[in-house]
Amino acid sequence: MDNKMYVSSSPHFRCNTSTTKIMLDVIIALVPAVIASVIFFGPYSLMLIGVCIASCVICEYISRKIMKRDTTIGDLSAVVTGLLLALNLPVNINPLIAVFGSIVAIVVVKQMFGGIGMNFVNPAIAARIVLLVSFPNAMMTWVEPFWYKAGVDATTSATPLVTGDVSYVNLLLGNHGGSLGETCAVALLLGGVYLVIRKVISPIIPCVYILSAGVMSLVLGQDPIYQILSGGLLLGAIFMATDYVTSPYTKWGKVIFAIGCGVLTILLRTFSNMPEGVSFSIILMNILVPLIEMVTTPKAFGKAKKAKGDKK
């Protein structure tokens, strides 16, 4: 018999999930949105997605090397960040701007704070906000869907949040101007359902986010369905607000976080100069996560006052 035995502390069984598998599930869930973006905005959108993913992965690799830490590109989290960033950009943006966004997301927001699990705000959203502030024109010029078929003269259009005249059907299908991944509500919902079924995300955050945004729109006299389907709300609610690292891990924390996101989104949309409020609301709530977790820590089993027998 060989002397070399594995000796370890219990449990000796582990479930067969891993960070890589979870990230892969998120990528799979984003595939419908990617397909929709290719249909509406042409093959150029694939190029933009490719640029973002590649630059994110390269940034992650280089920054880990410089910091003399283990390479973590294998966990695919940089791919997810790149993909989400690309889906938040308009299709006709200069790819160099996209690369700049990737650097902000991976190097500044993620790796400088300690890499995966340590960033206090969502890297993709932080990058989007930096780009929005730095390049407001490029970030807020959207082209009509199917512009690539119409020839060289791309007609620019505003997001339906500004125009307010797109039908529900077109909002659902994504046949309107906007960022790559945010237009097609059906594709996003499909991805969300996949994530919930695969138990990657809990349905609490997306559902409460959407619900509270709807209620808030009603309160402010907006059309709730229009508000929910337009802009980046669904993309934010399903894929950005549910980011493990930057959302609370307690159940009630998730509820509070999502209500905050929903209410802030509609408030910002209604009262701020920016047409969109999703990114800002999520990033604001990201910052509050430690506080939310502090107040929503569940009471340990048996810590409560002794329960008095069975209820008769």
Q: Which residues bind another protein (CB under 8 A)?
A: 1-15, 17-19, 21-22, 72, 75, 77, 115-118, 244-245, 249-250, 297-304, 306-307, 309-312
Question: Least Å distance between CB 84 and another protein?
Answer: 15
CB neighbourhood size of 31 (10 A): 14
Question: Least Å distance between CB 241 and another protein?
Answer: 14
- Amino acid making up residue 41: F
Q: Which is nearer to another protein, 68 or 312 (CB)?
A: 312
Question: Least Å distance between CB 294 and another protein?
Answer: 10
Nearest residue to 253 (alpha-carbon basis) of 293, 291, 281, 214: 293
Q: Which is nearer to another protein, 116 or 233 (CB)?
A: 116
3-state secondary structure of 199: coil
What phi and psi, each to the nearest 5 degrees, are found at residue 157? -140, 165
Burial class (CB in 10 A: 0-12, 13-18, 19+), 203: middle
DSSP one-letter string for 59-100: HHHHHHHHTT----GGG-HHHHHHHHHHHTS-TTS-HHHHHH
Question: Least Å distance between CB 112 and another protein?
Answer: 15
Q: Are residues 231 and 178 in contact, defined by beta-carbon separation less than 8 angstroms?
A: yes
Q: Which is nearer to another protein, 115 or 214 (CB)?
A: 115
Question: Least Å distance between CB 210 and another protein?
Answer: 21
Q: Which is nearer to another protein, 15 or 169 (CB)?
A: 15
Q: Which is nearer to another protein, 149 or 299 (CB)?
A: 299
